[in-house]
Amino acid sequence: MFTNHIRKIWYLIFRNDLNYNTCFMKKFKFIFLLTVSWILASCTTVQITESDAFDAHRTIFPDLFSQSGIELHDISIDTEDGETLDAWFFQREDAVATVVYFGGNGFLMVKSRPLIEAYATVPVNLLLFDYRGYGQSTGDPTVAGIREDAVAAYNFVKNLQDDDHPIYVHGHSIGSFLSAFVADEYDTAGYILESPITDVHNWTRKMVPWIARIFIRFDIDDEIRTQNNTERVERIEKPLLIMGGSNDEITPFQMAESLYESSPSSEKTLVRITGGSHNDLPKSVEYRRALAEFFGQ
């Protein structure tokens, strides 16, 4: 059991999509080493495999994209506060809806190949974009700033002259906050939460195994601490699809279950992808099947 806790902390530090600042990482790694030392004093063997050292990603670029029936538009989106977002709009003639996707903390369009391939199997248009400060988008990321980005992306799709399809929003990890925010406050046909977070307090508590909690206290900025998906989901009655992985150690599946139970929607679906972790769900058959069923295919 101790070994599993150590591997979990190792995973949190080195293999997730949470790009903590340098100061935080130094503190966290120091605490991690103290915890390891304490556990090793109990004669526990900690196994770190070769696969723990790598987090490989296949990249994709507009000039390399080729999919019959789908046209990729490499575009820019201007925000109300003066930033410019790099974005890709995948458009198809047989689309029954348009999806605006909000990525996690480490999301970059060039790293979204599995997601694009998954959505290529479903007849919907898809808008991807890099948050401010990411990729070629201007500015620096803040909680208020990426909320502005989400609204700008939604408005871009809403204002398309030749696109009158219903709009859905899809958020992964911290992007689930944006998906619920837009679904709650704007005209959308439904929303998707992938590897979602309930609220920041509950999330940070689950990030650290109980054995290390006596060593670690999170001092969280108010802008981050007040993010709460549960409160929003409780008042959204639109169709909802929630997906999570059974092996997700960043946002455990219990969070997906909790949000599902909180939703008053009469059209809600919870999908548990066996063996899935935090960032690999789009590669699974279950993920693609869930998308198809959600969009009525």
pLDDT digits (tens, 9 = 90+) for 41-79: 555 565 666 665 556 666 777 777 778 889 999 999 999
Looking at the predicted structure, is the pLDDT value of residue 226 above 70? no
Non-local CB neighbours of 241 within 8 Å, separated by 6+ positions: 190, 191, 192, 193, 268, 269, 271, 290, 291, 294
Answer yes or no: do 27 and 150 share one domain: no
- Give the span between the Cα atoms of 207 and 6, in whole angstroms: 12
Instruction: Give 32 or 236, the one with higher predicted confidence.
Output: 236
Answer yes or no: do 66 and 40 share one domain: no
- Give the span between the Cα atoms of 2 and 21, in whole angstroms: 27
Answer yes or no: do 108 and 172 share one domain: yes
pLDDT of res. 97:
96
Task: Give the residue carrying structure tokens 């390399």.
Answer: 64
Per the structure, how many domains does the chain have? 2
Instruction: Give 144 or 4, the one with higher predicted confidence.
Output: 144
Answer yes or no: do 93 and 191 share one domain: yes
Instruction: Tell me phi and psi for residue 90, to 5 degrees.
Output: -95, 115
Residue 208 lies in a domain: no
Answer yes or no: do 172 and 143 share one domain: yes
Task: Render pLDDT for 125-174 as a digit per residue (tens, 0 to 9).
Answer: 999 999 999 999 999 999 899 999 999 999 999 998 666 799 999 999 99
Place 113 in a pLDDT band, splitting at 50, 70 and 90. very high
Per-residue b/e over 83-112, b at no fewer than 16 CB within 10 Å? Answer: bebbbbbbbbeebebbbbbbbbbbbbbbbb
Whether 166 and 173 have beta carbons less than 8 Å apart is answered as no
- Give the span between the Cα atoms of 199 and 177, in whole angstroms: 9
Six-digit token pair at 113? 């190949």
**What is the CATH classification number for the domain harbouring 249?**
3.40.50.1820
Residue 191 lies in a domain: yes
Answer yes or no: do 89 and 45 share one domain: no
pLDDT of res. 39:
52
Bridge partners of 101, per DSSP, are 170
Answer yes or no: do 36 and 67 share one domain: no
Residue 212 lies in a domain: no
The answer to which of 96-105, 108-117, 213-222, 247-256 has the lowest mean pLDDT is 213-222
Answer yes or no: do 136 and 26 share one domain: no
Six-digit token pair at 288? 């693609």
Answer yes or no: do 71 and 179 share one domain: yes
With H, G, I as helix, E, B as strand and everything else as coil, classify residue 168. Answer: strand
- Give the span between the Cα atoms of 15 and 9, in whole angstroms: 10
Residue 79 lies in a domain: yes
Residue 82 lies in a domain: yes
Domain that holds residue 192: 62-199+219-294
CA 248 to chain centre: 12
Answer yes or no: do 83 and 20 share one domain: no
pLDDT of res. 199:
76
- Give the span between the Cα atoms of 187 and 294, in whole angstroms: 18
Residue 207 lies in a domain: no
Answer yes or no: do 97 and 173 share one domain: yes
The percentage of residues in the chain with a pLDDT greater than 70, rounded to a whole number, is 70
Bridge partners of 72, per DSSP, are 90
Query: What is the mean pLDDT of the segment spanning 265-283?
Result: 96
Residue 144 lies in a domain: yes
Residue 210 lies in a domain: no
Place 35 in a pLDDT band, splitting at 50, 70 and 90. low
Query: What is the mean pLDDT of the segment spanning 191-211?
Result: 70
Q: Dihedral angle at the C-alpha atoms of 228, 256, 286, 240, nearest 10 degrees?
A: -60
Answer yes or no: do 168 and 286 share one domain: yes
Non-local CB neighbours of 280 within 8 Å, separated by 6+ positions: 114, 245
pTM for the model: 0.79
Sign of CA dihedral 283, 285, 286, 292: positive
